[in-house]
Amino acid sequence: MILRNSLLVLAIGASLALTACQREPSPSGDTGDASTSSQAAPQDETADAFIARVNAELKAMYPELTAAQWLSSTYITDDSQLLAAKANEKFLTSLNSWIEQSKKFEGQQMSPQTARAITLLKLGTAMPAPKDPVKLAELTRIATRMEGMYGSGSYCRTAGDSKSCRQLGELEDVLRNDRDYGAQLEAWQGWHTISQPMRDDYQRFVALVNEGAKELGYADAGEMWRSGYDMSPAELSAETDRLWGQVKPLYEQLHCYTRTRLEAQYPGRGSVDGLLPAHLLGNMWQQDWGNLWDVLAPYSEQEAGADLDVTAALERRYQSDLNARLAKENALIDTDRRVEVVREAQLEDARRMTRQAEEFYTSLGMPKLPDSYWQKTQFIKPRDRDVVCHASAWDMNMGGEDGKSPDVRTKMCIKPNEEDFTTIYHELGHVYYYLAYNDQPPLFQGGAHDGFHEAIGDTIVLAMTPGYLQSIGLVGAQQPSREALINSQMRMALAKVSFLPFGLMIDRWRWGVFDGSITPENYNAAWWELKAKYQGVAPVTPRGEEFFDPGAKYHVPGNTPYTRYFLSHVLQFQFYKSLCEAAGFQGPLYECTFAGNRAAGEKFWSMLSKGNSQPWQQTMTELTGGEQMDASAVLEYFAPLQEWLKQQNEGKTCGWQASASAPAAPAAPDAPAAPVTPAAPGPGEDAPASRS
């Protein structure tokens, strides 16, 4: 998700964002008083000197900024949230000051690089803050509090005198592994209770960021978000519609096939008037259907002559290591020591999965991860505290200049399954982007646009072909056959194609919230209308306005723009095709892996090193030969599967009516009336898996 993870999504360029998949860190920490956190502008300062000063001040404050945010994400306490909120407050005060100072250069002659830097400065946060210091402080408190609610959220139930609580990871395990209809429904509904208390905070958050955006000259925060793509907000909206039109027929075929399989698995309960039940897709947000492989696999392992069950292989490997560790212990090992041994095995397994991902990047000629990465990364969920498990990548110090070594990290709660395994490759894509552009000035340390940042690691994931997985020992020998090809394509489509409409709808919801066309009284209804329209997904029980289901997705309380993830799912296929060509690959696109190819790696690294120093169209042209985003490579890649799906769906009534989106249900009689306030920002989602 690659999110992308901080609530306040700082995104100067796109790099202050700590991914993805991504998570983007909220601005954090500064050393001075909020009122004096940036230097006063010298009287005779030129535009070039101004940008040089801003770059220096930004880089100086950045380590404290990110340290406060890292702490609030990995040690969720009232104290850490206070520190993060104050750090965010100080940073946003500095940002507002820089933006105000930049106004005196409007209309002046300056170098193109300086003009670009000033433009990026104005777009330097996804959370534009009001100038009023009281409101700015309120905004940072709300943002930090919502992220804390998400990170510490748990669903509890009482049976007799006992109370049991489960957090997101445990509830996700139910959706991943348990095919019992009722158990899945309870897990899905349970997680969605954690966001109900966020509703009032989110309304106020929307009002405050809209006020900040208007002070910067934008109609609302959504328009500001859409302005960061070297094109007008209207052009960006039209571009995403065009790209969705290219891939929608493929998604509709996958949807139709999935509905047929679910109806066979759950007779009479496998669809909701033609829409897919939200709790039956193996993923809390229905963005990745890969966990339904046991239900949706086109052919059995025997029929295909190939085993693609990566999760089973990872689990076997972990269990074998754990058993070996336990065998070395005394036969009378006590419970505490056994817990320690299990934790040691979990940590080593997570590190081993990460080392395999690192080896792919280094095989392309990219550098090894710094030693500090292995020392400071959060690989698994701690036992003693609440953390934000949403996977994210972090650049802590904009290292690479002044003799500093880069401090890059990832934050995950890794388990031995395919979803987490591919998420690691995704998150390291952000990390290697950081390392490549660390020599750029701070204001240019970002992706060419934010969709680029999300696409890097997923381009690598596309190259994780069955042949590659066999080479690292996660699947057995592959016997070429039509059945094996369709299985392989389906495995990838359940992650990539299923995600496409989800990547659009989150920001479509937020854009409406920000511009006021979606009012607080209709937050939840509008959410499910959009999920029905784009995804063809519906809840099986009423979801009235007493719920706040958008808040159950990290990127909403975390304020991480999401359109980047939709764009990344188009870009990654373009990047993949270009790198395959650079590697000299001959054959069907879906068979290409460029692992170990230095020519492809050199071309990739060259693109990464440009950061956000030039319009993305120029960067795109240098890598792919064209400056337009285009989904034709998606269709080329999945051509065999699309033809197969059409054959499977022949004679069936495919498609759905969005009006069937959700069972009608009035708001609970005792639900508090939501105060009417302006709307908030919005993009759309999570890079595959839990990136996002």
DSSP assignment of 46-94, as one string? -HHHHHHHHHHHHHHHHHHHHHHHHHHHHS-SHHHHHHHHHHHHHHHHH
Using alpha carbons, list the distances in angstroms from residue 29 to 58, 81, 394, 402, 671.
Answer: 11, 12, 15, 21, 38
Say whether 167 sits in a helix, a strand or coil: strand
For residue 657, the tally of other CB atoms under 10 A from its CB is 12
- Count of H-run helices and E-run strands, the chain: 25, 6
How many C-beta neighbours within 10 Å does residue 63 have? 17
pLDDT at residue 175, rounded to an integer: 97
**Sequence-separated (6 or more) residues with CB below 8 Å from residue 153:** 167, 168, 191, 194, 195
Lowest mean pLDDT among 18-22, 595-599, 644-648, 672-676: 672-676
Q: Could you please report the per-residue DSSP string of 305-370? A: T----HHHHHHHHHHHHHHHHHHTS-TT--HHHHHHHHHHHHHHHHHHHHHHHHHHHHHTTPPPPP
Give the active site residue among 24, 147, 223, 427.
427
Tokens describing residue 309 = 């069950």
Residue with the bigger pLDDT between 442 and 26: it is 442
Give yes or no: 357 in active site: no
Tell me if 180 sits within 8 A of 654, measured CB to CB. no
Question: Which listed residue (192, 255, 279, 430) is catalytic?
Answer: 430
Average pLDDT over residues 380-388: 91
Cα-based angle 145, 147, 149 (whole degrees, multiple of 5) = 70
Residue 48 has pLDDT above 80, yes or no: yes
Is residue 13 pLDDT above 90, yes or no? no
Residue 107 burial by Cβ neighbours in a 10 Å radius (0-12, 13-18, 19+): exposed
Bridge partners (DSSP) listed for residue 2: 21
Euclidean distance between CA atoms 24 and 30, whole angstroms = 18
Strand pairing class (408-411; 392-395): antiparallel
427 is catalytic: yes
Backbone angles phi, psi at 410, to 5 degrees: -125, 160
Active-site entry in 565, 576, 590, 637: 565
- Give the mean pLDDT of the chain: 88
Dihedral sign for Cα atoms in the order 410, 413, 415, 419? negative
Lowest-pLDDT range of 243-252, 302-311, 318-327, 413-422? 302-311
Residue with tokens 């003799």, as numbered in its chain: 403
CB atoms within 10 A of CB 174: 20
According to the model, what pLDDT value does residue 401 have? 60
pLDDT tens profile 216-234: 999 999 999 999 999 999 9
Give the per-residue pLDDT at 154.
95
Can you tell me which residue has the tokens 């057995």? Answer: 476
Confidence of residue 683 (pLDDT cuts 50, 70, 90): very low
Q: Distance of CA 176 to CAs 169, 217, 294, 554, 663, Å?
A: 10, 45, 10, 19, 25
Q: Which of 390, 449, 453, 569 is catalytic?
A: 390
3-class DSSP state for residue 22?
coil
Backbone angles phi, psi at 326, to 5 degrees: -65, -35
Catalytic member of 192, 453, 555, 569: 555
Tell me, rounded to whole angstroms, the distance of Cα 619 from its chain centroid: 22
Whole-number Å distance between alpha carbons of 642 and 636: 10
Residue 672 carries which DSSP code?
P
Pairs from 375-378 (Cβ < 8 Å, separation ≥ 24): 376/407, 376/409, 377/409, 377/410, 377/411, 378/74, 378/409, 378/410, 378/411, 378/412, 378/413
For range 328-357, the mean pLDDT: 93
Q: Which two tokens stand for residue 145?
A: 């509090």
**pLDDT tens digits for range 147-185:** 999 989 999 998 888 889 999 999 999 999 999 999 999
Residue 333's pLDDT is what?
86
Both structure tokens of 263: 């109806």
Strands 537-538 and 408-411, how do they pair?
unpaired
State the pLDDT at residue 572. Answer: 97
Q: How far apart are CA 688 and CA 500, in angstroms?
A: 9
Instruction: Identify the pLDDT of residue 159.
Output: 81
CB neighbours of residue 82 within 10 Å: 14
Whether pLDDT at 677 is above 70 = no
Give yes or no for a contact between 623 and 237, defined as CB atoms under 8 angstroms apart: no
Q: What's 534's DSSP letter?
A: I
Cα separation, 81 vs 70, in Å, equals 10
Distance CA 145, CA 201 (A): 9
Q: Are residues 20 and 391 in contact, defined by beta-carbon separation less than 8 angstroms?
A: yes
565 labelled catalytic? yes
Nearest CA to 150 out of 198, 199, 96 is that of: 198
How far, in Å, CA of 572 to CA of 634, rounded? 9
Higher pLDDT, 683 or 66: 66
Is 329 a catalytic site residue? no
Token pair, residue 484, equals 């094996």
Choosing from 192, 426, 453, 569, which is the catalytic residue? Answer: 426
pLDDT of residue 39: 63
Residue 476: per-residue pLDDT: 87
Say if residue 684's pLDDT is above 50.
Answer: no
Instruction: Answer yes or no: are the C-beta atoms of 349 and 317 closer than 8 Å.
Output: yes
pLDDT digits (tens, 9 = 90+) for 81-106: 999 989 989 998 999 999 999 999 98
The CA–CA distances, whole Å, from 108 to 27, 105, 215, 474, 573 equal 30, 5, 22, 59, 41
Catalytic residue, chosen from 391, 484, 526, 662, is 391
Provide mean pLDDT across the span 44-58: 94
Q: Based on the residue annotation, tell me whether 430 is a catalytic residue of this protein.
A: yes
Q: How far apart are CA 220 and CA 205, in angstroms?
A: 13
CB 311 within 8 A of CB 422: no
- Residue 106 neighbours by CB under 8 Å, 6+ apart: none
Distance from C-alpha of 554 to C-alpha of 564, rounded to nearest angstrom: 15
**Confidence at residue 146, expressed as pLDDT on a 0 to 100 scale:** 95
Predicted confidence (pLDDT) at residue 681 exceeds the cutoff of 50: no
Q: pLDDT tens digit string along 489-548?
A: 999 999 999 999 999 999 999 999 999 999 999 999 999 999 999 999 999 999 999 999
**Distance from chain centroid for Cα 647:** 34
pLDDT at 583 over 90: yes
Q: In 3-state terms, what secondary structure has residue 580?
A: helix
Active site residue 449: no
What is the spatial distance between Cα 200 and Cα 675, in angstroms, rounded to a whole number? 8
Specify burial of residue 479 (Cβ count, 10 A radius: 0-12, 13-18, 19+). Answer: exposed
Nearest to 637 by CA among 504, 500, 490, 501: 490
Percentage of the chain exceeding pLDDT 90: 80
